[in-house]
Amino acid sequence: MKRKKNTCHALEFAKQLDMGKPWIEDLKSCDEEFMRSYPRLKAKGFVRDENDVRSLSRTVFTVHRWLASKQCYSITEALAEDLFAMEDLSFPLDDMHLPFPCFYLDMEPFGEDLSSDPGSKLLGYYVMIEDVPYGDTVGSCCSVVTLALQENGEYTYGGAAFDFAPEHMEMSLNDTVSKLAQHIEDQKKHITRALLFAAYLSSAQPEVVENEAQKQFYRPSAKPKYSSMRKWDVGVRYMQEKQKYAQELTGDEASKAGPDGGTAQTGVPDGKAKRNPPKPHMRKAHWQTYRTGHGRTGKKIVWIPPLAVGMPKGRKQEHIPVVVREQKERRD
């Protein structure tokens, strides 16, 4: 039986940008080539100034790097809700150890509109954090490209990149976002999300499994074909555990109610002061560093999910479980 043809916006956009030119392999050459084309690009309305030219160059370069591996991630709504709500952005950029130096995060299932471009639907993020060729040198580069779809069916993009100085890689996630978004405030939310997801993948216990449907017909190929894409599902068990967690909480609350719907009495002995339990609240998600190995010289960073504090009596105050990743890591 012939398989139904599938489409992927990340792949379709990449095919539009892929130029097959040798200069696209080197970031410096890519910048220089686009700068030479600046007058022509401006005349056709593709760019407004040199900053737009640089943004276009970095977008093309990033998407081209993604085509080399074609790795695509999908995140469950439950995990996205907790991960993207984080206020703790202390994860250090130089501790990013991604399974793939460039990947795409699919955000299309969330159906989100772009506030900066009414009528456009957010599709996803290309993320690149790796050492790349830059002329006669190699430089560290961090790039985030936001992909969206306009009402007329055309793609639009945004994002930012920074590079080349080793001290950049020693910055925290918060400093990185501030630097990347200092001139494009409307992209800050998207850059933050993309790098938070990259940090989650780099942490010690991300929950990642290969997409079962795509796994059936995945065939590695340098060609930009749908079957050559590899897909990963992130946070499936987390979603299930969170749903189960919510159901148990509802059951605990129901068991505390008396026959008339009021609160059941607790057996507090006469003359004993009743101790008020802590007010129920959620402790926010955060990064936790653990020292490991001989002499505790090593370290691993773990994403700690939100923690329910002040739970009903008898209920353990535990984090929602996480599991270790199942994907094979690649170190370039």
Q: Give the count of domains, the chain.
A: 1
Angle at 283 between CA 280 and CA 288, to 5 degrees: 155
Q: pLDDT value at position 272?
A: 54
User: Which of 237, 225, 230 lies closest to 211, judged by CA?
Assistant: 230
Q: For strand 155-163 and strand 137-149, is the pairing parallel, antiparallel, or unpaired?
A: antiparallel
Residue with tokens 């060609």: 223
Q: Residue 110 is part of which domain span?
A: 69-236
Picking from 54, 22, 20, the residue whose alpha carbon sits closest to that of residue 37 is 54
Predicted confidence band of residue 313 (pLDDT cuts 50, 70, 90) = very low
**Listed residue (130, 127, 145, 143) closest to 200, CA to CA:** 127
In a domain? residue 25: no
Angle between helices 173-180 and 188-202 (to 10 degrees): 150
Q: Which amino acid is at 280?
A: P
**pLDDT digit string, tens, across residues 42-64:** 998 888 988 889 889 999 999 99
* 313 φ/ψ angles, rounded to the nearest 5 degrees: -55, 135
Does 247 fall in a domain? no
265/288: higher pLDDT: 288
Cβ atoms of residues 308 and 242 within 8 Å: no
Position 225 in a domain: yes
pLDDT at 1 over 50: no
Whether the predicted model's global pTM rises above the 0.95 cut: no
Residues in the chain: 332
pLDDT of residue 80: 96
In percent, the amount of the chain with pLDDT more than 90 equals 40
Residue 315's pLDDT is 47
**CA 255 to CA 263: how far, in whole Å?**
9
Alpha carbons 147 and 137: distance in angstroms, whole number: 30
**E-strand spans in the chain?**
71-75, 102-106, 121-134, 137-149, 155-163, 208-210, 230-234, 281-283, 286-292, 298-304, 307-309
pLDDT reading at 30 higher than 60: yes
* Average of per-residue pLDDT values in the chain: 81
- Confidence band, pLDDT 50/70/90 cuts, at residue 241: confident
pLDDT-derived band at 139 (thresholds 50, 70, 90) equals confident
Beta bridge partners of 300: 290
User: Which spans in 4-86 are helix H?
Assistant: 9-17, 27-36, 38-43, 50-67, 77-83
Q: Which amino acid is at 222?
A: A
What pLDDT shows up at residue 154? Answer: 92
Of 73-82, 112-121, 130-139, the one with minimum mean pLDDT is 112-121
